[in-house]
């Protein structure tokens, strides 16, 4: 089989990314521009700022990825772009760039689902297919479980009814006076704490049949534990260092327990043999380690995306090859679809 090449673009939230991927799934180059410094003072992603930053970064990012790959535009088979779900303004920048290149270079356009791409990222670089599996996406915007028969076919099993796990990490990090994005910083602080010292609630854990998550009550429990004045980050500054670390550790463990319990329940319900986990929170070391132990004990094969492909990136746009192989191209009037339409259970 001769080798073909694909240019993939990602701009669903606050990372501007491009990657060149060949038809064997090999990532030839990738470039990711993050916007953390722009959003830090707001302790969260500001959609308008994100969209403008994408606009500034998209061309240099595309240029870098193309140059590093050494692949000329002529040799490309298609231009792929994540069109849903995500922030509307952010999605529009990536899609507009993809359309412009598709038109200028006379290449087909392929829109992809960002969540399916996060799951697909688990198989990047592997020789065997990761399907069928239970796909678990744990990020700043999503915490959902799917039964995935194949890369483009899935059934929704359950998900968060309020905050996503990463969002809870980010908000609790603010309460503890940690920098944005909160996940990595909170996890580092948690490593110095005692996981058993404070037992925070594990919402919905009693309901074994239900594959949903809820993190807003847990977040409130942390808020009450800190029990500070209106700006909790000020109160955190006067907390004893060990107490701060114990709160971080107790919170992180509560989230991990919920994530693992529901993932295992999904495996049991679907009788799947394989669990594939992607999204920013899947970069969390304790979560990775504890999930590995839990899966091993149940004889479940666990595949977690490599850390650099857990957070948003364009390499996972390799999913587009699955559409290209099925002849599923999109017209140039393709539009973004910001909200994920939740598939019926
Ligand atoms: O997948 P991602 O880059 O963007 C979305 O699609 O949402 O995930 C970003 C989220 C943020 O909430 C961030 O705090 C969280 O992933 N995150 C982590 C870690 N690294 C990133 N959460 C916990 N522990 C980490 N090590
Ligand atoms: Zn994502």
Q: 27: domain CATH number?
A: 3.30.420.40
For residue 278, is it within any domain?
A: yes
Ligand 1 site residues (CB inside 6 A) read 13, 139-141, 166-167, 169-170, 181-184, 187, 279-281, 283-284, 311-312
Q: How far is CA 235 from CA 100, 226, 227, in A?
A: 50, 7, 8
Domain count, the chain: 2
Residue of 255 and 344 predicted with greater confidence: 255
Residues 277 and 184 placed together within one structural domain of the fold: yes
Quick one: 172 and 269 in the same domain? yes
Residue 164's contacts (CB-CB under 8 Å, 6 or more residues apart) are 138, 139, 140, 141, 142, 143, 215
Residue whose Cα lies nearest atom 21 of ligand 1: it is 280
* Ligand 1 mutation target, pool 16, 117, 183, most atoms within 8 A of CB: 183
Domain of residue 80 covers 5-122+310-325
Ligand 1 atom 8 nearest Cα: 280
On whether both 233 and 137 belong to a single domain, the answer is yes
**Of 166, 188, 309, which is best to mutate to test ligand 1, by the most ligand atoms within 8 angstroms of its C-beta?**
166
DSSP 51-92: HHHHHHHHHHHHHHHHHHHT--GGGEEEEEEEEESS-HHHHH
Pair of tokens at residue 116: 């399916």
The predicted-structure confidence for 141-182, as pLDDT tens digits, reads as follows 899 999 999 999 999 999 999 999 999 999 999 999 998 889
User: What pLDDT is stored for residue 342 in this prediction?
Assistant: 58
Task: Give this prediction's pTM.
Answer: 0.92
pLDDT for residue 43 is more than 90: no
265 and 319 both lie in a single domain? no
34 Cα: distance to centroid of ligand 1 (angstroms):
12
Same domain for 139 and 74?
no
Share of the chain above pLDDT 70, in %: 95
> Which atom in ligand 1 lies closest to the alpha carbon of residue 86?
6
pLDDT (tens digit per residue) in 74-111: 999 999 999 999 999 999 999 999 999 999 999 999 99
In the reported structure, the alpha carbon of residue 81 is separated from the centroid of ligand 2 by a whole-number distance in angstroms of 13
What is the 8-class DSSP label of residue 121? G
């Amino acid at each position: 089989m001769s080798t073909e090449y694909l240019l993939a673009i990602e701009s669903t939230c606050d990372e501007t990314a491009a990657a060149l991927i060949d038809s064997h799934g090999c990532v030839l180059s990738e470039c990711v521009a993050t916007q953390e410094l722009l959003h830090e003072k707001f302790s969260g992603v500001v959609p308008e700022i994100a969209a403008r930053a994408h606009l500034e970064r998209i061309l240099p990012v595309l240029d870098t990825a193309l140059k590093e790959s050494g692949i000329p535009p002529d040799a490309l088979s298609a231009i792929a772009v994540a069109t849903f779900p995500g922030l509307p303004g952010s999605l529009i920048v990536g899609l507009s760039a993809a359309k412009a290149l598709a038109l200028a270079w006379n290449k087909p356009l392929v829109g992809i689902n960002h969540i399916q791409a996060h799951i697909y990222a688990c198989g990047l670089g592997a020789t065997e297919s990761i399907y069928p599996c239970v796909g678990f996406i744990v990020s700043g915007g999503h915490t959902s479980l799917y039964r995935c028969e194949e890369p483009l076919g899935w059934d929704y099993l359950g998900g968060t009814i309020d905050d996503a796990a990463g969002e809870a990490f980010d908000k609790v990090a603010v309460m503890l006076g940690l920098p944005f994005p909160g996940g990595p910083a909170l996890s580092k602080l948690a490593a110095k704490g005692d996981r058993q010292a404070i037992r925070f609630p594990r919402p919905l854990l009693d309901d074994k049949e239900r594959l949903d998550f809820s993190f807003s009550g847990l977040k409130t429990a942390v808020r009450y534990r800190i029990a500070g004045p209106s700006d909790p980050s000020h109160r955190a500054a006067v907390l004893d260092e060990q107490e701060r670390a114990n709160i971080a550790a107790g919170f992180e463990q509560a989230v991990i327990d919920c994530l693992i319990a529901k993932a295992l329940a999904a495996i049991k319900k679907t009788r799947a043999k394989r669990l594939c986990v992607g999204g920013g929170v899947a970069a969390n070391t304790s979560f990775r380690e504890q999930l590995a132990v839990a899966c091993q004990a149940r004889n479940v094969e666990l595949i977690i995306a490599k850390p650099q492909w857990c957070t948003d990136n364009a390499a996972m746009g390799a999913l587009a090859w699955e559409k290209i192989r099925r002849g599923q191209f999109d017209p140039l009037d393709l539009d973004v679809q910001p909200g994920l339409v939740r598939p019926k259970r």
